[in-house]
Structure 1
Amino acid sequence: MVAHTKLKNPHYTRAIFSGGCFWCMVEPFETKEGIISVLSGYTGGDTPHPTYEQVGGGYTGHTEAVEIIFDIRIIQYLDLVTLYFQLTDPTDALGQMADRGSQYRPVIYVLDNKQREVAERFKQQLIDSKMYKRPIVTAIEPANTFWPAENFHQQFYKNNPKRYAKIKRARKQFLFFQHLKLRLRHFIKR
């Protein structure tokens, strides 16, 4: 965790995403070339130093999120936003898959106007595509303090491979069928 926060390089920048349980958000990003570090944590609320129990109980206004440090010479913010929308249901403001509650809502936390522009443009393209029957509700909000989660939650997919495999399988099945419905809907419209 300390190593993540001390990563300094003029070619490194950060991205913060919330989209359901942070356990499922780390591995897809971390395994991409150009990703330097991914940290699970909490952001978007008002409580300083929130705990997993507080956030999970919905008492803080925070979401479970991931902070990604990436090398802009290798991977671009647009690539991360594109992957983010593949990992989440942008039509569900009340959580993601089995993770229910505002602490699991889909949010792109932007650090500057350039990130906001990229995220808003991508979201608008998704809306314009009319692929989804329901409205796109993924929020785009200014980033604020990112509070690292407890050590147990870091690198969950590596430290708890069997448990993570079950969670990942359920999430992949849900997203597969959702994307299949979208492709069929788009094909029928043509």
Structure 2
Amino acid sequence: MKAALTFATLMIGAAAQADTITVAGGCFWCTEADFEKVEGVSEAVSGFAGGNVENPTYEEVVSGGTGHYEAVQIEFDPEVVERRKLYDMFFRSIDPFDEGGQFCDRGDSYRTAIWVDNEVDIAAAEDAKAVAELELAQDIVTPILKDAEFYPADAYHQDYYKSEDRLAFSTVGIAVRKATAYDRYRERCGRDARVREVWGVDAPFLPKS
């Protein structure tokens, strides 16, 4: 019993270490894929935030009118990776000058944003934005917003970038795996090319080759 209680206590303590941030970086598949590669991040969940409709569907959000952004909630261990570092990485994964969407994805649901709900979060996000503006010598349009409910997207959109499920038809091929479709979409959308143009080759999520 003592050993079992000790194990349970350790598990509770580990769970208590988890923290979250919520960001919007355009296509949520891409933001999820980027941040799940970061050491200390346990999970990144694709969803929606910032709108005025409860539990919106993907179709409702991308068709407009809900006010929601495609967003990602990132769960991380602050003893492994600091929230400030995550915000630094976030800015360097987007085009922070684009008010109308991101890369080939246009419209309000693809805008960028950060949501914060406490003083620590606000300070970390604002510091990261200030440093990014200084580095780029230009104002960044990505807003830092307060208090938004996050709604996870349906299972179809989770872990899209690594799914082995096949799509009967897509804009990037027929009967291709979701993971393959994602890779083709990301390349054709010009995400990495534009990030490289803005931030240079040291942007954190660019291919190393």
Scaled by the length of structure 2, the TM-score of the pair is 0.78
- Please say which structure displays the higher CA radius of gyration: 2
SS of alignment partner, residue 115 of structure 2: strand
Deviation at 1:175, TM superposition (A): 1.4
Q: 1:60 to 1:36 in 2, by over 3 A?
A: same
SS of alignment partner, residue 87 of structure 1: coil
Q: Match for 2:150 among 127, 146, 150? A: 146
CA deviations 1:68-95 (Å, max 9, x no partner) are: 1101111110111011011111111111
2:192 is matched with 172
1:56 aligns with 2:62: yes
- Aligned residues with identical type, % of pairs: 34
How far apart in 1 are the matches of 2:61 and 2:48? 8
* 8 A Cα contact 1:15 1:111, kept in partner: no
1:113 is matched with 119
Alignment length, in residue pairs?
A: 172
Deviation at 1:167, TM superposition (A): 2.5
* 8 A Cα contact 1:40 1:66, kept in partner: yes
How far apart in 2 are the matches of 1:130 and 1:165? 28
How far apart in 1 are the matches of 2:194 and 2:136? 20
- Higher RCO (CA-CA < 8 Å; seq separation 6+): 1
SS of alignment partner, residue 50 of structure 1: coil
Scaled by the length of structure 1, the TM-score of the pair is 0.85
1:186 is matched with none
Q: 1:68 to 1:130 in 2, by over 3 A?
A: closer
CA RMSD of aligned residues (A): 1.6
The one-letter amino acid of 1:138's match is T
